[in-house]
Amino acid sequence: MGYNQQALYCYRKVYSLDPANVHALWERAVLAKNMGEFKTVAMVISRLLLHFSYLCIGTQCLFGHS
pLDDT tens per residue across span 4-53: 999 999 999 999 999 989 999 999 999 999 999 999 999 999 888 888 76
Q: What is the pLDDT at residue 66?
A: 44
**Number of domains composing the chain:** 1
Q: Within a domain: residue 66?
A: no
As a whole number of angstroms, the distance between CA 66 and CA 60 comes to 7
Q: Within a domain: residue 31?
A: yes
Looking at residue 52, the DSSP 8-state letter turns out to be: T
Q: Within a domain: residue 37?
A: yes
Q: What is the pLDDT at residue 50?
A: 81
Q: Within a domain: residue 59?
A: no
As a whole number of angstroms, the distance between CA 7 and CA 14 comes to 10
Q: What is the pLDDT at residue 53?
A: 65
Domain holding 16, by residue range, is: 3-53
C-beta of residue 15 within 8 angstroms of C-beta of residue 24: yes
